[in-house]
Structure 1
Amino acid sequence: MDVAAEQLLDSIYAAALDPQSWQHVLAALSDVAGGEASAITQLNIATGAGTAIVLNNDERVLDEYFSYYYRINPLQIVADPGSYVAGWTPMILRDEDWLDRATLEATEYYNDFLRPIRAEWGIILRLGLSGHDLTAISIGRSHGRGRFEDAEIAAAARFHPHLIRAMALGRRFADVHRRSDGLAAAVDRSRSAMLLVDAGARLLHANAAAERLIRAGDALRVQAGTLIATDPTSAANLSDAIRNASHPDRQRRIAGTFAIRTADRPLPLNGAAMPLLEEESSLFGRAAATLVSIADPDGNAADALQAAFDFTAAESRLAGDLLEGLSLRASAERRSVSINTVRTQLAGLFAKTGTHRQIELIQTLTMTDVGRFDA
């Protein structure tokens, strides 16, 4: 592979992380295929609406297209979206593969839009289809240059699989960052102590409440970058909980609770360690991370949860029991009610928190402001 091709490949995969790099991809790919104009589009095959990036960021072209021409683009709009989706494959097409030349040249779209931008001949590199939204790269050139030849299409085809992969990766990375940013924001907003650690208990992130707790030094400390509890028994329990939540086998990761005892507090602090998906924690640079939360039982967590989610008194007591690590049966025995009553209350907790599993419920409850580390 020559230097120019290697540079184009670098630009393609750089674009997965940095969307601004698509400009470099468009320029280089257009040169490879012998084009003069190019764009990346994500357009609805039924309505034509969507978004685009054009070579050299020509806003005039975008404004023209999305003010009118997207509605009449015969190379985009399909009469039967269902059949189109069923038969769709990621391929490279000439315009005339989609619409015969005479019909295309008779359209308003060709004469009033494509001709002024010198894109009378074109090829389309399909990259992805999600629902009715088609992502593709269009490369065009002026009428005098003639149709794209087989050799030119073959030159672009060398990079087609990489373009598909980079576009898919870009979507995934964007989704990762959205979710990771949301997680970090939720952690930082919480008045309870929240920490993100890796499988070795190395501290990745701590919110303000957790930092205050660490500075106090009576319950937690960070030694050589590792989170440990000051009390030896509590330290072992914390380590075990993190290890279980960060197991290398995703199917064996489990949430766990633990207590942290201190010399000056009458009651131990309640802790929970919850596994996070890799996608949720990748912002912090590890393959897997664990969310550790620490709550002060003197903070009257049941009242705080009741106010936050409009729990009934019974539901808030069950929520408190779950945060302490009790099973449903243990909670029923503590409160002298039947296990069926507790299951009904659990269904109420799910409905009011928008969760479906106990681990999701505990994560939601733990990230609610129930602690008192706000001094």
Structure 2
Amino acid sequence: MADRADEKALPPGVRIRDGAIEINFSVKKQRYFITLPHPPTAEGIRTAAKIKSDLKTKAKWGILTEADISKVKGIEIPENNPADEEQVLFQDMAQKFLKFSGANKDSKNGYRKILEFHWMPYFALTPISNITTEDIEEVIIDRDFQIAKTFNNCVTPLRGVFELAVKHNQISANPMNKIKNRKVQVETPDPFTRKEMETLLAWLDKSLHDEDKFYRWYFEFAFWTGCRPSEMIALRESDIDWFNGTFKVNKSRVRGLEKKVTKTHTSREVYLNERSTLALKALLQFKKDQGYQTDYVMLCPKTKEPFFNEKPPRERLVEAMKACSIRHRPAYNARHTYATMLLMDGVNPMFVADQLGHSLQMLIKRYTKWLHGDKNKQEIAKLSVARTA
């Protein structure tokens, strides 16, 4: 019989049964119950939890074998080829890559899913030293990646696995070196015009009431600072320097997690203008009126908590675009709107790049169309004059 007295205190999937430790887990509708040869002590329970986690991972990857289960049960299985025991398998190196990766939690989860779905079914039980560039190319053909960006994202963790294998002297040459990223078409920014921006802000001002009025000032701030949504919802009062009319952008908030870095890992100081100052003061007054006791500037009116993501404000802008018959664009494009307004007004591109957190080269590459303000129209006008001459 199972001892249920302290069952709630045990790790999930671990229980004491008839004086022994049993682990259980379910993967792809298959349930596993495995009794381990470990004493029901604190150390034995910790070991069981780790074994359960490892086996469950292998089951998810589709590489859990009877030999794996027999081994953890303490049953010796004769090896057909003892030499293979010393070889590091792809799946072992993949687990090390995920463990040692310095990426954030979201990126690691993404890497794990990519490895499980695209690469493990082909390479999991193959010694890492046996995998060639040709093997990888054949798998790429089989996966039939249709979109260049998807392909590039999917080979990123694969590169990481082989780079780690080289670093740990498991292989001497990286088979991924000859596999290049595919060229991704860079889309031209699609900002709102100044007239569209003012129309959207006027609709938000007129149509939103009570606590939802927050979103009117949220977008006033977005349009007149060029901050990314993830940067805006991480902004704190302590970041604001009223004396110098600036605020610091040095962190971001993604899926409810605050990161101590921005998207480009570059902190910057953004200058307030008349419109963004007005918006910021209105946001702080809104927070005061609601009685919020937190350093965050942006708080979700519905939850009274810092935003988990930018979906709630985005939905308000989508509603405004539909109501005003304005062509749909992502709410993120408020950032492009600020950049193009500055450039069209003849503001120094170096200053614009600094405010957006771009390099000057990146700014020129992305916003060439707007760098000369109305001079483009003047050049086209010259063409018309030449034809009539």
Larger strand percent: 1
With CA pairs under 8 Å and 6+ residues apart, which has the higher RCO, 1 or 2?
1
Q: TM-score, normalised by structure 2?
A: 0.24
TM-score (norm 1): 0.24
